[in-house]
Structure 1
């Protein structure tokens, strides 16, 4: 496995490795969810490139950029065990040698809602770093996890609108045995919070069941779900049912609904968790 820190070395190394070439962008602190994406990438053959970079541009001033776990050595051990071919782990000054005054501004209709509403500028930062990484690696495929559902949708739209010759592949959300979606931020939870963390997935599942049983008052459904979660000690940002295609509210067309997803984001103590469930009616 090649561990690379500079763009020049990355390009020289990739020139000698076979295609197809698949990138798995990460911020490190890898867990089974990330490793499942590596396995998806490896199944495509050719060269698998994992990137590890904690991207300052997608953190708000009050968020955890400085304390976000950086575990490069153990990350590399895990990636090596999975057969990853290249790990690109640049320093900040390598990826941003000067202030990043050029930014990718995604479509507000999909990027300024939900996560984008509660974390203004988040998707500008995500799209900008992803565009840089895609340009650096020049992959044929890229694998992103469905746990970050809106991020996946924004990246898919960006790649399509810029006519980039890259296939975006969705990796299913990986969960602990009790249903909690795997996340690097789960390690912020103390023992008591970890026991309560499954309540988010439970509320999302209950919301799905209500829609499947005929509930169509979306505002009331969302309010009730958030109230249920808040009553258990959470601070909910949103729980909402959306169309998978554009993340807009569902439209009932002659009694039929398009494929749906319920998304939620809530804070348990100081830890903010997100989750989602796809479903059909």
Structure 2
């Protein structure tokens, strides 16, 4: 089924079913390169920057919009996830996106609404995986399905979800899926807050306080140069103790490749700082390369 857009002279095609999408892709892609940008909708400039990157590097681009139920550990987060479908489609049309896939859960999971189990070699046991049980099994399950449905040459993922990016790379390697995973840098608001679909749910007070997350990461990067992990962690913890709007869930310094938390700083290794903060019930994450 192809969805009719309320857009003027749109060349972008929107599909709800796997069959109609695959029929069109088999007819139109041919020897052209296809880039995939998986999203859960509620698109912002960060998403659109990824789509534009995909447009630069591929003949054709497909964007998926699907809020995946199997990756939510809290039902209320799934229920409350923002939906702005018409605005999303208009924004994608303006980028020159070629195809959009907007399936239902029934269409994607075919009556078996459950996640597969993966062995990510420990990548999923730290940070986000530690606080969101089975989250990455759900992520890998839907991304694998999207890869097999669309058969892209390249797939694009933002580095804001850096742990997710590394897990998808691992899944592609384990499953021998012929797709190149392309990381795209974090897109930020002018005040440094990492763009997220959840940001629109912040109160005025929370939104005013939220840039401190990135400011704290920048300060932690400066402290990291002195090679004192304990000092960095204590600094970050103390930054949020007196904050009325933001509550620290975790701060971790980990190896950029293995995601193993650092116990000491090795000169030949690359590290990133990862943070998760609650603004009321809204959970915000961010990260930064340290060296």
TM norm structure 2:
0.91
**Residue 51 of structure 2, aligned match among 21, 35, 38:** 38
Write the distance in 2 (CA, Å) between the matches of 1:153 and 1:230. 31
Write the distance in 1 (CA, Å) between the matches of 2:64 and 2:263. 38
Q: CA deviation at 1:164?
A: 1.3
Question: Matched residue pairs, number?
Answer: 277
2:102 pairs with 1:89: yes
Matching residue of 1:261 = 272
Matching residue of 1:244 = 256
**Residue 122 of structure 2, aligned match among 109, 116, 123:** 109
Matching residue of 1:157 = 170
**Bigger Cα displacement from structure 2, 207-216 vs 18-27:** 207-216
Q: Structure 2: where are the runs of 5+ without partners? A: 1-11
2:75 pairs with 1:73: no
CA distances 1:155-188 after superposition (whole Å, capped 9, x unpaired): 0111112221110000110001010000000001
**Residue 284 of structure 2, aligned match among 261, 273, 277:** 273
Q: CA deviation at 1:230?
A: 3.1
**Residue 34 of structure 2, aligned match among 2, 6, 21:** 21
Q: Structure 1: where are the runs of 5+ without partners? A: none
Distance 1:69 1:133, change over 3 A: same
Matching residue of 1:210 = 223
Distance 1:39 1:106, change over 3 A: farther
CA distances 1:50-89 after superposition (whole Å, capped 9, x unpaired): 0000000011234411121111111000000000000000
**Bigger Cα displacement from structure 2, 66-75 vs 6-15:** 66-75
Contact 2:70–2:114 under 8 Å retained in 1 = no
Matching residue of 1:222 = 233
Write the distance in 1 (CA, Å) between the matches of 2:115 and 2:80. 26
2:193 pairs with 1:180: yes
Write the distance in 1 (CA, Å) between the matches of 2:100 and 2:119. 27
RMSD: 1.6
Q: CA deviation at 1:108?
A: 5.1
Write the distance in 2 (CA, Å) between the matches of 1:216 and 1:134. 39
Write the distance in 1 (CA, Å) between the matches of 2:267 and 2:69. 43
Distance 1:268 1:180, change over 3 A: same
Q: CA deviation at 1:102?
A: 5.9
For residue 248 of structure 2, give the secondary structure of its aligned residue in structure 1.
strand
